[in-house]
Amino acid sequence: MAKLYRELGKRTFAICDKQAEKQKDLIEAQVEKLLMHEEKGFEDLVLKNTTNWPATFRFPR
């Protein structure tokens, strides 16, 4: 998909969860900039960067 947009003159970016090295390399080859966080899932990223509040006590990691 990124290739199509690049051919149309658009800038391409990827935002994703942590990927294996092979997948990371494949993504980087297709986009201008890869923005990847170090967590395995978006939910883990949110919980890691959220202060303690009642829901975090009910749903511990």
List pLDDT tens digits, range 13-25. 999 888 999 999 9
User: What region does 9 belong to: left with phi over 0, alpha with psi -120 to 50, or beta?
Assistant: left
Total domain count, the chain = 1
Domain residues for the domain of 24 are 2-58
Q: How far apart are CA 31 and CA 6, in angstroms?
A: 8
Q: What proportion of the chain, given as a percentage, has pLDDT over 70?
A: 84
Instruction: Using the predicted structure, report yes or no on whether residue 11 has a pLDDT greater than 90.
Output: yes
Please, which residues bridge with residue 35 across strands?
Answer: 15
| Whether the predicted pLDDT of 56 surpasses 70 | no
Q: What's the mean pLDDT in 43-49?
A: 76
